[in-house]
Amino acid sequence: MTSLGRTEFAVWSPGRVNLIGEHTDYNDGFVLPIAIDRGLRIAVRSRLDRRVILTSDRGGSPVAIDLDITLAPGRGDWGRYAEGVLAGFQRLGWQIPGFEAAITADLPAGGGLSSSAALEVGIATAVEALAGRSLPDGDKPLLCQRAEHEFAGVPCGIMDQCAVALGRAGHAMLLDCRTRRLRHVPLAADTVRLLVIDSGVKHALVDGEYAARRRQCESAAALLGRPTLRDVTEEDWLRDRDRLPALERRRAGHVIAENARVLAFAAAVERGEWPEAGRLMGESHASLRDDYEVSCRELDAICAIAAEADGVFGCRMTGGGFGGCAIALVEASSADAVVDRLKERMSAAGVHSAGMFLTRPAAGAHVQG
Ligand code: GLA
């Protein structure tokens, strides 16, 4: 007797690229990410029992989850992201039916494009469709962020889950992480394109450096007598920064300047001032490299070559750092030529990339029609 039910559909859940505003989200600051046109496709089929079975084209053993028990953190494999999301729905008292989910991906795992947020938000979207109801606006990213905190042990901010859940085609998202207010900023696809360059260096935010940055920011804010670094004005900063020990001063200096850069970047995009937007990306990268210390040699080399190339307005590392991808803002009219030129320059300089692709802002996670 088959255990499969009759409901069948597919969810598309994108990866994300952050254009600017790095390590600002957990400081209640501003970010400007996009959902991209690469991600995860999750083919869903309901089951007649209360089991969830997940499979992935990336290999790894299938994951089995029993919905009749109260789910708790502790799982070591990739199933923990889904389990954390399902636990969130259990807490809300939703009656979740069993289901099978077959995941196929065109997003590098651990490559800094938020494959984990794509999985969390994708599973949450599947649960909503199976249950025939939706979480209130804005609650889905929070539920998924909590899954990442509690079940994956990564104390991430809210950016990735918001970008994946709420992206809009053709627009970047200016997100105030304090209020979670969102403004969609049109990004003219006929003028500029976005190029993702994968350094091939796998990052592991779980390894403690990410959490350490978070603590250093909290300590800097406390020493400045403010609840968060978002509350430190330019005036406060100029007056009080010398009270901070050198490490906290560099970390906080990055966050405070980066918040200002996000707003300036959004304004430049709205005015079509691409050289200015590119310049801000360069400043952001330098600050992440020198003051926040989350870049790596490979990303620095990629950004240095890209930033100098004709047709590139600017380039910076994107995401948590310690590897992963760089993002370049390129002239749409010469985008393909820019890709060829960069490949040549990088290979001449002995700089390796695990791949590059042009992308554009795409819609957030949704059931495919
Ligand atoms: C990771 C986290 C995000 C954010 C970025 C850095 O991607 O998941 O919340 O903090 O790093 O901007």
For the chain, domain boundaries:
2-185, 187-359
**CB of 142 closer than 8 Å to CB of 150:** no
Specify the residue with its C-alpha closest to ligand 1, atom 5: 320
Tell me what the pLDDT averaged over the chain comes to: 95
* Res 141: pLDDT: 98
What is the C-alpha to C-alpha distance for residues 76 and 63, in angstroms, rounded to an integer? Answer: 11
* Res 205: pLDDT: 57
What is the C-alpha to C-alpha distance for residues 138 and 181, in angstroms, rounded to an integer? Answer: 9
Specify the residue with its C-alpha closest to ligand 1, atom 1: 320
Q: How far is the CA of 213 from the centre of ligand 1 (A)?
A: 11
DSSP annotation of 12: E
- How many residues in the chain? 369
Axis crossing angle, helix 209-223 with helix 246-271, rounded to the nearest 10 = 100
Q: According to the CATH classification, is domain 2-185 in 3.20.190.10?
A: no
Q: How far is the CA of 154 from the centre of ligand 1 (A)?
A: 10
Q: What is the pTM of this model?
A: 0.96
What is the C-alpha to C-alpha distance for residues 67 and 80, in angstroms, rounded to an integer? Answer: 14
Query: Which tens digits make up the pLDDT trace of 263-285?
Result: 999 999 999 999 999 999 999 99
Q: According to the CATH classification, is domain 187-359 in 3.40.50.9100?
A: no
Could you confirm whether 28 is annotated as catalytic? no
* Res 277: pLDDT: 98
- Please choose, from the candidates 198, 180, 147, 155, the residue with its C-alpha nearest in 3D space to the C-alpha of residue 36: 198
- What are the residue ranges of helices labelled H in the chain? 79-91, 115-131, 139-151, 159-166, 209-223, 234-240, 246-271, 274-290, 297-308, 335-348
Task: For ligand 1, say whether the CB of 84 is within 6 Å of any of its atoms.
Answer: no
Query: Which tens digits make up the pLDDT trace of 137-163?
Result: 899 999 999 999 999 999 999 999 999
Q: How far is the CA of 241 from the centre of ligand 1 (A)?
A: 25
Query: Which tens digits make up the pLDDT trace of 310-366?
Result: 999 999 999 999 999 999 999 999 999 999 999 999 999 999 888 999 999 999 999
Ligand 1 pocket test, pick from 28, 30, 156, 261 with the greatest ligand atom count within 8 Å of Cβ, gives 156
Specify the residue with its C-alpha closest to ligand 1, atom 8: 156
Name the active-site residue from 25, 28, 160, 198.
160
What is the C-alpha to C-alpha distance for residues 112 and 206, in angstroms, rounded to an integer? Answer: 13
